[in-house]
Amino acid sequence: MLFEKLGLQLDSVMKEPKYIFVTGGVCSSLGKGIVAASTATILKSAGLRVSIMKLDPYLNVDPGTMSPFQHGEVFVLEDGGETDLDLGHYERFIDVPISSLCTVTTGKVYKEVLEEEREGKYLGGTIQIVPHITGKIQQKVEKAARDLDLDVLVVEIGGTVGDIEGEPFLEVIREMKNTYGSSRVLTQHVTLLPYLAASKELKTKPTQLSVKELRRVGIHPDIIFCRADVKIPEKLLAKVGFFCDVPVEAVLPAETVKSIYEVPLRFQKYNLGNLIAERLELGDLTFDLDEWEQGIHKLLNTKEELVIGLAGKYNELDDAYLSVIESAKFAGFKHAKNVKIEWIDTEKIEASNKKELLKLESVAGIIVPGGFGNRGIEGKIQVAKYCREKKKPYLGLCLGSQIMALDFARHVLGIKDADSEEFDEGHRSKNHVIHFIPEQRDIRKKGGTMRLGAYPCVLAEDSISAKLYGKTEISERHRHRYEFNNSYREQFEAAGFKIAGVSPDNELVEVVEVKDHPFMIGAQYHPEFLSRPFKPHPLFDGFIALLLYGFMAPRN
Ligand code: GLN
């Protein structure tokens, strides 16, 4: 076959995936990720196979080692990829597991190209940003679309147009559009119309300039999304269209809405799906966003509040716990309640700060999320002790489950020096109730070396968790180095600390529950990565339902 001789697969030649690139202009934090996710949601609703990819211009190989202060939470994929929080948005919107193929950074690209250079792949050649780096980026974009057998791949470019480090990515868009043409490559540009209170008007000039910058590198945007905090008059959209040389029906208002989950509906109101279908020649599509319509209706009409505590390390930093907060909110939506977060600063708990201690009483229940390092750990153990003794609902996620074990060891079993190997740097404790996962012990490199991604877990039939999940075999995503020490299992179980879930070989403890407590559950994994807006995760659902009704919600 000619195709095979050319090294091409027949189905990839026939199918020809389409690409939608999303760039951002004017400033950061405009919600490009939400635009990308909403675009994909609309296309998926028409039955297309879609996924979303993030191309990040920074030099880290992945965000796994970046501080949540700088970069928000690390979102973990099914296959163990440690990624940017935008991938979390993508999954929550399209409800399709995203592959590691869909997360690429400049660091990853350079690392591969330089490794190939050392191996001698380019012998005799001079390696350059164009075409070698850009070629590698393009290869990765096309590989993702092909390997995942997609109809459309939406690709978000991190950063803002005009950033030095973003240029190679823009060059890839230019080249791909040139090679494949407008029926296979579409570009969306997200900009801001700033509001000037003095003159009471929105301004279009920054948008014009950012489009000019795009055109300087050879990209003419097909669709422009104008972000604004107030309603955008039609004539302004027409003005943007005129000055940026884009037909007015392709200039979409993207005004700030109450919930990000409204965005796909808003965009489809302006026929985004139809516009894309026409440009990319996708045929006659019917977009069915009924599930979203109903879900959003419920969400927007939810008035009552439920306040829960979040005892993390990065207080007031929503992005550091984005998936946890969203998961709690989704469970709230299901029961028509707005979940509000009260931050509990565990360093202040350590200092016996009255106001902070009072919060433990005032909130309906407490989540202790994942985390690393020993800042605030003693305070977290106090929070767990309080919840256990006062029978206050407690949900421990990863580190939060380890904290549960430490409280139980110290205050129920009387093992005063019980500690985690992670926090006991001076090796003062003889009782590492939490210790290194055996195969983690000798690993020194920090990037991508934890126990990462989805692993199966078996729940005890008589556990609360099994009731909540409605089954005993589950699969959940992990990101940790430490683990419950099996030599303490019997002692714990005998005193009422239930090992409620284990790995199928019974080697690793995955879920723990305190008996005779309405809800004190710890998961060594991260259930928050699997919660979806209209399908809350069973552990969050059960936790919120218990707070509201005093008993766990039946599954539906
Ligand atoms: N620091 C703990 C560990 O590595 C918990 C990790 C987490 O909460 N993600 O096991």
| pLDDT value for 442 | 67
Calculate mean pLDDT across residues 277-288.
96
250 has a pLDDT exceeding 60: yes
The pLDDT tens digits for 177-206 are 999 999 999 999 999 999 999 999 999 999
Residues 6+ apart with CB under 8 A from 62: 81, 82, 83, 103, 105, 107, 108, 447, 448
Which of the residue ranges 117-126, 391-400, 403-412 would you say has the lowest mean pLDDT? 117-126
Residue 8 binned pLDDT confidence (cut-offs 50, 70, 90): very low
Whole-angstrom CA distances from 251 to 187, 240, 241 are: 12, 7, 6
| pLDDT value for 11 | 45
Q: Are 438 and 484 in contact (CB under 8 A)?
A: no
In angstroms, the CA 197 to CA 9 distance is 57
β-strand pairing of 223-228 with 305-310: unpaired
Whole-angstrom CA distances from 34 to 30, 96, 99, 178, 297 are: 9, 15, 18, 27, 19
Residue whose CA is closest, atom 1 of ligand 1?
372
Is 526 considered catalytic here?
A: yes
Residues 6+ apart with CB under 8 A from 232: 193, 202, 226, 253, 255
Catalytic residue among 335, 398, 432, 457: 398
Residue whose CA is closest, atom 7 of ligand 1?
370
Q: The tokens of 299 are what?
A: 């969400």
| pLDDT value for 160 | 95
Residue 71 binned pLDDT confidence (cut-offs 50, 70, 90): confident
| pLDDT value for 131 | 95
pTM reported for the whole predicted model = 0.92
Is 528 considered catalytic here?
A: yes
Given the CA of residue 373, which atom of ligand 1 is nearest to it?
1
Is 102 considered catalytic here?
A: no
In the reported structure, the alpha carbon of residue 88 is separated from the centroid of ligand 1 by a whole-number distance in angstroms of 19
Q: Are 264 and 41 in contact (CB under 8 A)?
A: yes
| pLDDT value for 14 | 53
Given the CA of residue 372, which atom of ligand 1 is nearest to it?
1
In angstroms, the CA 430 to CA 421 distance is 10
The pLDDT tens digits for 30-41 are 999 999 999 999
In testing the pocket of ligand 1, which one of 67, 314, 368, 372 has its CB within 8 Å of the most ligand atoms? 372
Residue 143 binned pLDDT confidence (cut-offs 50, 70, 90): very high
Catalytic residue among 89, 480, 526, 537: 526
| pLDDT value for 444 | 64
In the reported structure, the alpha carbon of residue 96 is separated from the centroid of ligand 1 by a whole-number distance in angstroms of 26
In the reported structure, the alpha carbon of residue 68 is separated from the centroid of ligand 1 by a whole-number distance in angstroms of 14
In angstroms, the CA 208 to CA 416 distance is 65
